[in-house]
Chain A
Amino acid sequence: MPHPPRLRPGDPLPPGPPRAGRDLLLETTDRGLYCAAGDFYIDPWMPVDRAVITHAHGDHAHAGSARYLCSREGERVLATRLGPGAPIESVEYGKEVSIGGVRVSLHPAGHILGSAQVRVEHRGEVWVVSGDYKTEPDPTCTPFEVVRCHTFVTESTFGLPIYRWSPQREVFADIAAWWRANRDAGRASILFAYALGKAQRVLAGVLGAESGEIFTHGAVERLNRDYRRGGVELPPTGYAGSEPRGRDWAGTLIVAPPSAAGSPWLRKFAPFSTAFASGWMRIRGARRRRSLDRGFPLSDHVDWPSLLATIDATGAERVLVTHGYREPVVRWLLERGLEAHAVASRWEGEPEGEPAGEEEAHEGTSAGGALDAEEGE
Chain B
Amino acid sequence: MKRFARLFAQLDETTRTNEKIDAMARYFVEADPADAAWAVHFLAGGRPKRLIGARRLAEWAMAEADVPEWLFEESYHAVGDLAEAISLLLPDVSEGSDRPLREWIEERLLALSGASEETQRAAMLAAWRELGGVERFVWNKLITGGFRVGVSTQLVVRALAKATGVEEGVVAHRLTGAWEPTADSFRALSAADVADADISRPYPFFLAYPLEDDLETLGSAADWQVEWKWDGIRAQLVRRRGQTFLWTRGEELVTDRYPEIAEAAALLPDGTVLDGELMPWRDGAPLPFAQLQRRIGRRTLGAKMLAEVPVVLVVYDVLEIGGVDLRSEPMAARRARLEQLLSASPLRARFIVSPLVTGEGWEPVRTAWSSARDRAAEGLMLKRRDAAYGVGRRRGPWWKWKVQPYTADAVMVYAQAGHGRRASLNTDYTFAVWDDGKLVPFAKAYSGLTDDEIRRLDAWIRRNTLEKFGPVRSVKPEQVFELAFEGIQPSPRHKSGIAVRFPRILRWRTDKKPEDADSIDTLRSLMAER
Contacts and interface: CB of A to CB of B under 8 A. Distances in A.
B74 interface: yes
B413 interface: no
B459 A285 contact: no
A288 B421 contact: yes
Interface string B74-88: 110111110011001
B423 A161 contact: no
A294 B15 CA distance: 11
Name, among A161, A293, A352, A361, the residue most crowded by chain B CB atoms within 10 Å (CB to CB).
A161
Contacts of A353: 77-78, 417, 423-425
Given A160-B71, A161-B71, A294 B81 contact: no
B446 to A, nearest CB: 14
B89 A162 contact: yes
A294 B455 CA distance: 21
Interface in B62-80: 65, 67-68, 70-71, 74-75, 77-80
B420 A285 contact: yes
A284 interface: yes
A332 B65 CA distance: 15
Interface string A277-308: 00000111100110101100000000000000
A284 B81 contact: yes
B152 interface: no
B97 interface: no
A17 B307 CA distance: 87
A360 interface: yes
A355 interface: yes
A160 B80 CA distance: 14
B92 A160 contact: no
A127 interface: no
Contact of A335 (B14, B68, B88, B422): B68
B375 interface: no
A161 B75 contact: yes
B237 to A, nearest CB: 40
B84 A160 contact: no
Interface in A161-175: 161-162, 164
B459 A355 contact: yes
Nearest to B427: A289
Given A162-B75, A350-B462, A291 B67 contact: no
B12 A162 contact: no
Contacts of A283: 78-79, 84, 88, 423
B13 interface: yes
B495 interface: no
B88 A285 contact: no
Given A285-B423, A349-B463, A161 B67 contact: yes
B428 to A, nearest CB: 14
B88 A289 contact: no
A354 interface: yes
Interface string B291-326: 000000000000000000000000000000000000
Nearest to B65: A161
A160 B75 contact: yes
A325 interface: yes
A183 B480 CA distance: 48
B132 to A, nearest CB: 11
Interface in A352-377: 352-355, 360-361
Interface string B257-298: 000000000000000000000000000000000000000000
A332 B69 CA distance: 12
Contacts of B81: 284-285
A354 B14 CA distance: 23
Given A160-B75, A162-B89, A350-B462, A293 B68 contact: no
Contacts of B193: none
B451 interface: yes
Given A293-B15, A331-B70, A350-B462, A162 B78 contact: yes
B89 A161 contact: yes
B13 A293 contact: yes
Interface in A313-336: 325, 328, 331-332, 335
A352 B13 CA distance: 26
Nearest to B424: A353
Contact of B455 (A164, A350, A360): A360
Contacts of B15: 291, 293
Interface in B440-468: 451, 455, 458-459, 462-463
Interface string B124-138: 000000000000010
Contacts of A164: 88, 92
B148 to A, nearest CB: 12
B422 to A, nearest CB: 7
A160 B459 contact: no
B179 to A, nearest CB: 29
Nearest to B66: A161
A328 B73 CA distance: 10
Q: Which 4 A-B pairs have the closest CB atoms?
A: A353-B424, A288-B421, A162-B88, A289-B421
16 contacts: A161-B75, A162-B75, A162-B85, A282-B88, A284-B84, A285-B80, A285-B81, A285-B84, A293-B14, A325-B74, A331-B71, A335-B68, A353-B78, A353-B417, A353-B424, A354-B424
Given A160-B74, A285-B423, A291-B451, 18 more contacts: A161-B67, A161-B75, A161-B89, A283-B78, A283-B88, A284-B137, A288-B421, A289-B425, A289-B451, A325-B74, A328-B70, A328-B71, A328-B74, A350-B459, A353-B78, A353-B423, A353-B425, A355-B459
Interface of B: 12-15, 65, 67-68, 70-71, 74-75, 77-81, 84-85, 88-89, 92, 137, 417, 420-425, 451, 455, 458-459, 462-463
